C-alpha cells in the first residue's frame, strides 16, 4: 500500500471538471462587473471604463464572451441610442459609448 505522501507527490493529479464558463482575472480585465450580468450592462461598463472606441472583438475578449453575442448586444445598444457606430471605409467597425 502506498503512503499518503508518495500518493500526493507522485500520482497524477486529475483536473476538476469545470461546468460553465470560466472567469479569468488578469491585467486586461477591469473587475467582475464586466464578467457577469446582462450583456448590455457588461458592454457599456467595459466601454465606459476604457473611454475610447472599441471593436466588437476587443469588447468580447475583455468581458469573456464571444464576438457574435457582443455584436448582437451592440446592435441593441445602437438601436436604443446608447452606442454610436464609427464606420470608416477600409477599417474595422468600432463602437463608441454616448
Please write the tens of the pLDDT for every residue from 48-91.
Answer: 988 889 999 999 988 888 899 999 999 999 999 999 999 888 88
* Residue 76 belongs to a domain: yes
* Residue 3 belongs to a domain: no
Tally of structural domains, the chain: 1
pLDDT at 4 over 90: no
Is the full-model pTM beyond 0.85?
Answer: no
* Residue 24 belongs to a domain: no
Domain of residue 90, residue span = 29-97
Q: What's the per-residue H, E or C state across the chain?
A: CCCHHHHHHHCCCCCCCCCCCCCCCCCCCCCHHHCCCCHHHHHHHHHHHHCCCECHHHHHHHHCCCHHHHHHHHHHHHHHCCEEEECCCCCCCEEEEC
* Residue 8 belongs to a domain: no
pLDDT at 15 over 70: no
Please write the tens of the pLDDT for every residue from 23-38.
Answer: 555 555 446 777 788 9
* Residue 16 belongs to a domain: no
Amino acid at each position: 500500500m502506498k503512503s499518503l505522501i508518495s500518493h500526493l507527490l507522485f500520482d497524477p493529479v486529475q483536473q476538476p471538471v469545470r461546468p460553465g464558463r470560466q472567469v479569468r482575472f488578469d491585467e486586461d480585465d477591469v473587475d467582475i462587473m464586466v464578467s457577469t450580468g446582462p450583456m448590455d450592462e457588461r458592454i457599456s461598463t467595459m466601454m465606459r471604463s476604457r473611454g475610447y472606441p472599441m471593436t466588437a472583438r476587443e469588447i468580447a475578449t475583455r468581458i469573456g464572451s464571444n464576438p457574435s453575442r457582443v455584436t448582437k448586444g451592440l446592435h441593441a445598444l445602437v438601436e436604443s441610442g446608447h452606442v454610436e457606430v464609427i464606420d470608416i471605409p477600409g477599417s474595422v467597425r468600432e463602437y463608441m459609448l454616448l
